[in-house]
Structure 1
């Protein structure tokens, strides 16, 4: 009666040499990886059979990336690629914009000239309330050129807040500006209105009339700087007659 499998395995020695393992193996060519040669014997013919050699790393890289001649051609074509990049749409857009790209080309920084739309215009202020009308013309740096009110042209007391006084004041200010030669120096002008008195409409009527034709063509913007009361102190008691 044969012994069980466990007893047969226990009867075998624990430490066996590699040569004994190789002889007992069904395949003759079984060896450790470190002892494997480039040739092995065919069990049918008992003749040595050659194993195909591995391709060299250089040939493998050449088959994938191309030869060294291709790399030299790429390096020779690199300046052409940079010239094409400099002529691309991105560089053309940078040249047209106000961005200073002189640092990229190695040139000295150039002063960027502002456009006409970015320059501050002259200002023509009209401040009208129920008692008087004030007109002030200023330079782009806010320095006043002329500043007058209805009282400066001879109107007194309640007549200073009328429509006629504001109309006469606007005509007088425009004549003074034309006489001193300011229209030739003004290219752009901003009209700033403040208050809701009768002089507001009177000044606009003068600018729309033939007397204001010289300055009407220079107006690029109309703004309203009327003060809006938000909270604050209590209003004065209305007058009763």
Structure 2
């Protein structure tokens, strides 16, 4: 938008009027209120300035910019730093993200389940802070099918993954992790038998304590685009 300068403004020598002109494009409505309706020497200039302000208002030049998703803080009218609602990073520099995460990695040979705390999570009882480098998360629990005694080819089956997911749900309940969880995100990776097993556990009686706290379910399976040539598929017989 081209800023038009009325010719009469070039003859303004008053500091107050010059400051008003400098701040006109920043806050036109406030500048127009401070100017008199008529003047002995610059009545035409005031009328031209008001006409220009009406044109800018009609064109949308005085609309306030809406905060974007990348904004975390903003300056208020009094000059203070105000935290936006829903911001992840607060004005004190502390991450406000409170969602826990469960990562399920199910491939052809095994299944891994990891429970991660929020960034810079503070224990409500001991006061200890987990995760000194936000937005990185700290691991609260990490188990695989081999921890339950399944060895070699026994780790890839549906039953072993189901027992592992049941054991993880029991550990979370006994250790008190479920009482600390307000929101939970589930990330599924891979298409092994453990993917369906963990899903069934979350939807069954074993996952009744955390099922209502799940706010997000996402697939984080890695897809290959380009790169080096993959190994030839294995063929038996």
Q: TM-score, normalised by structure 1?
A: 0.55
User: What are the residue-to-residue correspondences of 1:100-179 with 2, within 5 Å?
Assistant: 100-102=74-76, 104-105=77-78, 109-112=80-83, 114-115=85-86, 119=97, 121-141=99-119, 142-179=137-174
Q: 1:230 aligns with which of 220, 225, 229?
A: 225
Q: Secondary structure at the match of 2:235?
A: coil
CA distance in 2 between partners of 1:201 and 1:168 (Å): 12
Distance 1:66 1:208, change over 3 A: same
Q: Give CA deviations for 1:107-166 in whole Å, capped at 9, x if unaligned.
A: xx2552653887352110000011000000001222100000000011111110000000
Distance 1:201 1:116, change over 3 A: farther
| More helix by percentage | 1
Q: Which runs of 4+ in 1 moved over 3 A?
A: 64-67, 98-102
> Where does residue 57 of structure 2 map in the other structure?
none
Choose between structure 1 and 2 for higher RCO, CA contacts under 8 A separated by at least 6 residues: 2
CA distance in 2 between partners of 1:183 and 1:116 (Å): 24
Q: Quick check: 1:210 aligned with 2:181?
A: no
CA distance in 2 between partners of 1:239 and 1:99 (Å): 58
Structure 1: give runs of 5+ residues left out of the alignment.
Answer: 1-63, 68-89
User: What are the residue-to-residue correspondences of 1:83-98 with 2, within 5 Å?
Assistant: none
Structure 2: give runs of 5+ residues left out of the alignment.
Answer: 1-36, 41-62, 89-95, 120-136
CA distance in 1 between partners of 2:156 and 2:38 (Å): 90
Q: Secondary structure at the match of 2:181?
A: coil
Q: Give CA deviations for 1:27-83 in whole Å, capped at 9, x if unaligned.
A: xxxxxxxxxxxxxxxxxxxxxxxxxxxxxxxxxxxxx9699xxxxxxxxxxxxxxxx
Q: Secondary structure at the match of 1:147?
A: strand
CA positional deviation for 1:228: 0.7
Distance 1:105 1:233, change over 3 A: same
> Where does residue 191 of structure 1 map in the other structure?
186
* Larger Rg, first or second structure (1 or 2): 1
Q: Is the contact between residue 73 and residue 82 of structure 2 (CA under 8 Å) also seen in structure 1?
A: no
Paired residue total? 150
> Where does residue 51 of structure 1 map in the other structure?
none
Q: Secondary structure at the match of 1:233?
A: coil
